[in-house]
Amino acid sequence: MRDIMSEKEEKKSVMRPAAQRRETQGQDAWKPAASRQHLFLAEQRKLRTRYVWLVPVGFLALLLLWTLASVRNFDDMDLATGYQYFLYSMSTMNSIFMPVMLSVVASHLCDMEIKGNTLKLLYTLERPGRFYDIKYLFELKYLIIFSAGETLGLILLGKAAGFTEPIRPDMFAEHFIAMTAVGAVILSIQHMLSLVSDNQILPLIVGIAGGFLGLFSMFFPAEVNRLILWGYFGIFSVAGVDWQRTTDETIYMSYQPLPAGSFIGFLIAGALIYLIGKWIFLRKEV
């Protein structure tokens, strides 16, 4: 019992689901495990005093600050295409920072189970597959905080900087969807690695290396780029630079709506990656 009780937070998490289980069983004696809502609540309780939200919010603040710094030497011409520039540069930055940020969030949340050795206990309280899903959804919450904050933050920054370019809500919506989708697939990999890895080295290495790959994959030929998951922040960027026309003085930018076909293909592949990850996790013995 000592191991399980090793963390203060753990103690709460250990006690609560058990209590909840009794409650649910009271209502429906044959229910095999706690209900989804309760499990979600249990996850929430594990995180009290952990301040996980600081990770995405901190990164968000840094990235927006960074963007703000670049606005200061904008001229009229730039102000007229400011949002395009924002969306473009943000997807580039996402490809470096999001993989690391997601690996930190996933590892932080999963490692408390590994450290506290709570998987054994949790398996008796909830179905492993469901535990995997709920935990993932929980991590997803932080990703959505990040990408939503990023999208809104860009709009507000643009307003504050006096951009003359009209806001295209559809493009911002697509930016939000694309960045969240790519992040979600990367998160599913991090999630699986963090739950399977006993020492958390591997998931963090993958996170750091993924950031590297994402950054550099933009220099790759398009066919190779498509094979690298971390490069999709760039591929699905809703604004692009026309490098042919761009000179030292002016950057020619344009919006490029999400390619529906390949985006749906990406989502399907992403779902597949998630399921493979779940399958690998379920094979692990506790």
Encoding tokens for residue 192? 């699986």
The per-residue DSSP string of 33-102 comes to: S--HHHHHHHHHHHTTTT-TTHHHHHHHHHHHHHHHHHHTT--HHHHHTHHHHHHHHHHHHHHHHHHHHH
Closest separation in Å from C-beta 51 to other proteins: 9
Residues 42-81 that bind other proteins (CB under 8 A): 55, 58-59, 62-63, 66, 69
Long-range Cβ pairs for the range 189-192 (8 Å, 24+): 189/229, 189/273, 189/277, 190/99, 190/102, 190/103, 190/105, 190/106, 190/107, 191/106, 191/110, 191/132, 191/135, 191/136, 191/139, 191/277, 192/277, 192/278, 192/280, 192/281
- Which residue, 201 or 286, is less far from other proteins as judged by CB? 201
Encoding tokens for residue 148? 């939503």
Check binding of 213 to other proteins (CB under 8 A).
yes
H or E, element range at 148? helix 128-161
Closest separation in Å from C-beta 227 to other proteins: 15
- Which residue, 96 or 143, is less far from other proteins as judged by CB? 96
According to DSSP, residue 198 is labeled S
Query: Looking at 107, 118, 180, 188, which residue binds other proteins (CB under 8 A)?
Result: 107
Closest separation in Å from C-beta 108 to other proteins: 4
- Which residue, 6 or 262, is less far from other proteins as judged by CB? 6
Query: Looking at 85, 86, 97, 138, which residue binds other proteins (CB under 8 A)?
Result: 97
According to DSSP, residue 230 is labeled G
| Window of 36-44, 95-103, 147-155, 255-263 that interacts with other proteins by CB under 8 A | 95-103
Q: Measured between alpha carbons, how far is 52 from 63 in angstroms, rounded to an integer?
A: 18
- Which residue, 148 or 218, is less far from other proteins as judged by CB? 218
Closest separation in Å from C-beta 93 to other proteins: 9
Check binding of 7 to other proteins (CB under 8 A).
yes
Q: Measured between alpha carbons, how far is 52 from 138 in angstroms, rounded to an integer?
A: 11
Check binding of 199 to other proteins (CB under 8 A).
yes
Closest separation in Å from C-beta 3 to other proteins: 7
- Which residue, 213 or 239, is less far from other proteins as judged by CB? 213
Check binding of 3 to other proteins (CB under 8 A).
yes
Q: Helix 260-283 to helix 128-161 angle, to the nearest 10 degrees?
A: 140
Query: Looking at 15, 68, 160, 201, which residue binds other proteins (CB under 8 A)?
Result: 201
Residues in the chain: 286
Strand partners, 253: 241
| Window of 83-91, 141-149, 151-159, 196-204 that interacts with other proteins by CB under 8 A | 196-204
Residues that bind other proteins (CB under 8 A): 2-3, 5-8, 55, 58-59, 62-63, 66, 69, 96-97, 100-101, 103-108, 111, 115, 198-202, 204-205, 208-209, 211-213, 215-216, 219-220
